Amino acid sequence: MGIIWVHICILLNFMAVFCVKDSPKVQPFYLPANPESCDDVHMLCKAKSSSRTQLQWLKDRIQIGDSTLLNATISQVGSALVLNIKCISVAHAGDYTCSAQNAHGKDEFTASLVITSAPFWLENTQSEMTESMRQAKRDETVTLRCPVGGHPRPNITWHYRVCGQVRFLRTQPLNPLK
């Protein structure tokens, strides 16, 4: 992407005037280190180039457009493109890319937004669990689901009571959920 194109534009009084046409170079942007749910986040997409450059925002390699990202607005401020997200949630976590393109090339910069969140239920499975346990027969394997989210990834511990005593079950590693 570091190619510089040189064209002679004007020849005046035997002096050559050169116009440099170059590919864009995206300026890095930084995201907050430990944002929490419902914080506001602002990102600035800007590129250096002597040629007219088109900027765009992407989340997880998909272009962000009108109403594609909850509580997000994109606005042109001078030569920059600003992405504002109000009241972030775990749905906003991901890789954000500022992309710049002109007739001479393209450049990108990507940063990850990691959102700290307390554990939460992805769906309520209590009635499903109750029914599975009610129908279980002695020495039969029962599979119980526990769909949870959060960051850092929650640890899940299963326990049950036998004659008033609490017993803990061995827990399988949790598969990552996005």
Percent of the chain with pLDDT over 90: 44
Domain covering 23-115 in this structure, CATH number: 2.60.40.10
Nearest alpha carbon to residue 91 among 5, 177, 26:
177
Q: What is the pTM of this model?
A: 0.67
- For tokens 């002096």, the residue is 15
pLDDT at 14: 58
Specify the higher pLDDT residue, 45 or 178.
45
Residue range 129-156: average pLDDT?
79
pLDDT digits (tens, 9 = 90+) for 2-15: 444 444 344 455 56
Taking the C-alpha atoms of residue 58 and residue 68, their distance in angstroms, rounded to an integer, is 11
**Cα 10 to Cα 16, 17, 18, distances in angstroms:** 6, 6, 7
All structural domains of the chain with their residue ranges:
23-115, 118-168
End-to-end CA distance of the chain: 34
Alpha-carbon distance of 45 to 97, in angstroms, equals 9
pLDDT (tens digit, 9 = 90+) per residue, 46-89?
999 988 999 999 999 999 987 789 999 999 999 999 999 999 98
Mean pLDDT of the chain: 83
pLDDT of residue 147: 84
Q: Is residue 38 over pLDDT 80?
A: yes
